[in-house]
Structure 1
């Protein structure tokens, strides 16, 4: 039982770190943040503090996020709010897509 719990904790930690890296890279490579803020936001957005996936690794969340962005469009890419603890802001379609790929928020996503 202890080994399983340790692996779950390790997977949760790895998923959270992968998300921070993925969103940080996405924000750095995206166009100006001001241009994104100027666009009207018609969809409900959600805040997620941490992700988990049993057996997930550091690159797994980034790969899942990139696949969902490819499917849904660049406008659906999650944004990272800092300072730590980092929070990911994403739309319901992106949340659903990540969940379909096995990534779950640790706790309930909060409406923003």
Structure 2
């Protein structure tokens, strides 16, 4: 297993579990038009834990990498929503904006895992 695959699996696993232990911060970044935020918090937590498990097993790593890349792209609108939501709060806005480019290496690590030999 490449180091970035292990990192990605660990990040997804930890983040996914955190969705269940401390759901409120995740609820707050769900765009209102999606409906019940807790549903989306738990659903994304399940998706993250599932992707983590798929990445950890060599036989499912390709699927896990592609699923992880899709998940990283899929949650990007929540990151944009967070920027808009905190636009009038300079510190929170700066943090939210700083998070946006972090999706690029996460997608890269996911795709890299999917193509791992």
Per the normalisation by structure 1, the TM-score is 0.33
Higher fraction of strand: 1
Say which structure, 1 or 2, has more relative contact order (CA 8 Å, 6+ apart): 1
Per the normalisation by structure 2, the TM-score is 0.32
Higher fraction of helix: 2
